Structure 1
């Protein structure tokens, strides 16, 4: 995992975490490391130095009274290490707090990684960054490294524990969905004829939760792609332009900026009731602007400048490798840093390009929880799930969407394309062919979006009546009919507060009450 640390005159403790994946199995959470809190000042039989370096007990600490100082390093692969025994059929989570004692000369940032070296066949060592597979109990050497060779650092509160599988995760997720994605709608019918029958319809038109996709700016306005556009409008409520608003794509030749392509696409999307937003992209992995300007805090200024131009725009960090790899902690740390610095950041974008259908839900939820701990809303900004087997993809898609929809910090999910005719790889598509027809994964998505997570209720009532419906949050139409004739119709929004709909049959309007 890459952890970007900014250069300050005072160095502070930074949380560091990664997952070591073997295979899924439920095991009790037992600490694997010896002397994980560094309170034992003698490091014999617990911690050691891999390569040329020195370990010294330090009174500087994150918790307790001690940490370990790693110094006198001669290469970037020198670092704190420990031999550990891992068990087959398990997933591990490693965490630690790290404090830099100095920066490498001329560097704005430092990178930290965790690596394991394990014995495979006799006499042969295998190195792995984070992900390892084994079929027998083996001794692995786990070590922290990658800092510049002249950098000294402290480590405290390290931990290596099994991530427990939760067999009841979906039941718990659906319970959270019922609680956080719904509110009550109380319908009160008055001044009705005592023995007359009426019909009340509650129809959800849109979701409060965002379901959307990336789209091609040129295709969305091209009459030859009419079916592509219609599939977008029929199956999604939000859209983001895939590339047309990116600087390099807008200005292939310096000074010649293509505004027309994105503006035409945005106008078409707005005209069909869809909204869009853009993000500050992949900042924990890239330091282009910082390096080019020599300013380690240029990202802060970019957020401030964007907010000054339009204070109504919700500004996001957005990054990859969070759900499928190990960037949850760096993203959490940067989001928290920007928030505490007073930067006008609204939320955090998690791209979520999943390259197989074998999902570890416990790990994924842990990563979501880590990012959410920064205290900002989350959007899943580039969801893709890769598999040539559309049935397998459909099953995994139901699970991952259930996880995202059930998480209280997540406000929306945007797919990174939906049609195999305009997508970065066809094995992630939801729709196929010239008619833009849903495949099994697309049908699974449609069922969730149009049926499972949407409220549509018709009630037959007699005379004055009261009934309650628990509905998904979003915009609704309520209709009152009598003997097949529609008497009145209104729209309303259902949010986190319960909504009361007072229908006076004798009046031409309905009264909506929060």
Structure 2
């Protein structure tokens, strides 16, 4: 879910609609309600003592923290009244339920189905992430199987039941050395049947995005994947360069028509890693071309597989590259596939995850950060960022949990003053709000979405 969708979904919450979570529900307050308000569901990411931040952070981190404070948090005042009059000494708790920013992972449908209901693979996905993208299930060849579709839909239900959004990827991926494309596409390609090939791709875009948007609430799609390196189909359908091929705009038009409110993204590699300036130039050319169409992309995705120590970039260089794409237009930026299989030392890999994630999150145009898996046994290089094969935690786990569930997590408690107000600072997102005095307790779901100015949440007891 990009920032546009989150803001739209949150409008109703701010107006008092229940949305996801706990609706307005007056009740008779118990002593525990008045004292601690501890009836919120607990979340413990289980940080451990072997991870600690330096007392004197480096310059890059101090600068990132300043940007995060400016772009990712809001001053919040909870105003409590009864019959229009302020209520003092009311107990207030404001606890984050769902970050406005996507913290995401790749998730494998086959692994899910082979795992027990209480397995760590199922348990950790909804404890650590608010979004998941299927590792393989939406690849075109797999999607042609009715059984694969049924399996994917069941996992979508599981994830949604645990408040995890589902993103789809990839819709169009022309890589010819994998089994991602069905045989009908290759048959049309080898027969030079352009009309058949165009029809197959058009219908695939329309059906995959449209069906899952309407029937399964999958509204975030990587529509075009790795176009810079894999463009065999667009080469057949157009004489234009792969960065300016007219079929690309057509596919965005079709997807937008099939799912008018969906988030559509373009995605490629070696932009936030390595030092391939020509490749970055070509990606900027591709994004600029797509922005000129009738259905421009909403997001730009950046794969960030670190395949060797020399592929790391500094925090300053990472920011410069993000700035370049943010300046191209009204776009959200998403780190779409992050891992570090090229960094052998786990401590160094965890440190890099910490720096890379904090730098990305601090950018005002950033909307999401996705780990490409989290467990060594379900990872394309058997070297996932968070967990070893036996589910013991890597340095990367502690870095990730410290950022997402400590530094960027709000669980504020207090009492209202004589004006009936409780003031705090909160990370942007969807909140469980509970207010109690000696008579009543109110539970509600509210959204904090604007980092500029003050967010006021009024509660009527």
Using the size of structure 2 for normalisation, the TM-score is 0.67
Structure 1 unmatched ranges of 5 or more: 1-166, 508-514
Pick closer, same or farther for the CA change 1:489–1:287 going to 2, 3 Å: same
Aligned to 1:5: none
What does residue 43 of structure 1 align with?
none
One of 212, 217, 222 as aligned partner of 2:109 = 217
Residue aligning to 2:37 = none
The equivalent residue for 2:399 is: 444
Give the equivalent residue in structure 2 for 1:336.
Answer: 288
Task: Kindly provide the CA deviation profile for residues 253-304 of structure 1, in whole angstroms up to 9, marking residues without a partner as x.
Answer: xx88842333332232223222122311111222122123245321111111
Identify if the C-alpha distance between structure 1 residues 486 and 374 changes in structure 2 by more than 3 Å, giving closer, same or farther: same
Q: Does 1:267 align with 2:157?
A: yes
Shift of 1:500: 1.0
2:75 paired with 1:184: yes
Give the corresponding residue for 2:328.
374
User: Which of 1 and 2 has higher RCO (CA within 8 Å, sep 6+)?
Assistant: 2
Q: Matched residues in 1 for 2:333 and 2:78: separation?
A: 33
Paired residue total: 334
Give the match's secondary structure for 2:441.
strand
1:355 partnered with 2:355: no
Tell me if structure 1 keeps the 8 A contact 2:73–2:426: yes
Work out whether 1:234 is the aligned partner of 2:127.
yes
Distance 2:109 2:307 in 1: 26
Residue 194 of structure 1 and its aligned partner are, at CA, apart by 10
Q: Name which of 345, 353, 376 aligns with 1:389.
A: 345
Tell whether the 8 Å contact from 1:479 to 1:486 is kept in structure 2 after alignment.
no
RMSD of Structure 2 on Structure 1 (CA): 2.6
- Do the aligned residues in 1 keep the contact of 2:272 with 2:313 (CA within 8 Å)? no
Give 1:433's aligned residue. Answer: 389
Question: Structure 1 residues 271, 234: CA separation in 2 closer, same or farther (over 3 Å shift)?
Answer: same
Q: Distance in 2 between matches of 1:373 and 1:382?
A: 22
Question: Residues 475 and 194 (structure 1 numbering): CA distance in 2 closer, same or farther, change over 3 Å?
Answer: closer
1:417 aligns with 2:373: yes
Q: Is the 8 A contact 2:115 2:121 kept in 1?
A: no
- Give distance in 2, aligned partners of 1:452 and 1:361: 19
Write the deviation string for residues 40-77 of structure 1: whole angstroms up to 9, x where unpaired.
xxxxxxxxxxxxxxxxxxxxxxxxxxxxxxxxxxxxxx
Give the secondary structure class of the aligned counterpart of 1:351: strand
Q: Deviations over 1:433-475 (max 9, x none)?
A: 34x3432211210111111101111113465432321211000
Which ranges in structure 2 are unaligned for 5 or more consecutive residues? 1-57, 169-221, 240-244
Tell me how far apart the structure 1 counterparts of residues 246 and 233 of structure 2 sit (CA, whole Å).
Answer: 10
More helix by share: 2
SS of the residue aligned with 1:243? coil
Equivalent in the alignment of 2:90:
198
Give the match for residue 277 of structure 1: 167
Measured in 1, the distance between the counterparts of 2:318 and 2:87 equals: 55
Change (3 A) 1:196 1:170: closer
What is residue 468 of structure 1 aligned with on the other side?
423
Separation in 2 of the partners of 1:475 and 1:184? Answer: 14
SS of residue paired to 2:294 = coil
SS in 2 for 1:218: helix
SS of 1:268 mapped into structure 2: helix
Write the distance in 1 (CA, Å) between the matches of 2:412 and 2:254: 47
Taking a change above 3 Å as real, the CA distance of residues 194 and 499 of structure 1, as seen in their structure-2 partners, is closer
Give secondary structure in 2 for the equivalent of 1:342.
coil
**Corresponding residue SS for 2:378:** coil
- Residues 102-142 of structure 1 deviation map (CA, whole Å, 9 limit, x = unaligned): xxxxxxxxxxxxxxxxxxxxxxxxxxxxxxxxxxxxxxxxx
Structure-1 separation of matches of 2:82 and 2:262: 46
Name the CA distance, whole Å, in 2 between partners of 1:236 and 1:256.
28
Q: Specify the alignment match of 1:322 in structure 2.
A: 271
Instruction: Tell me if 1:309 matches 2:262.
Output: no
| Structure 1 residues 381 and 408: CA distance shift in structure 2, 3 A | same
Shift of 1:356: 4.5
Question: Which has the larger strand fraction?
Answer: 1
Larger Rg: 1
| Bigger mean CA offset, 461-470 vs 207-216 | 461-470
Rounded to whole Å, the distance in 2 between the matches of 1:348 and 1:432 is 31
Q: What's the offset of the Cα at 1:168?
A: 2.7
Q: Secondary structure at the match of 1:431?
A: coil
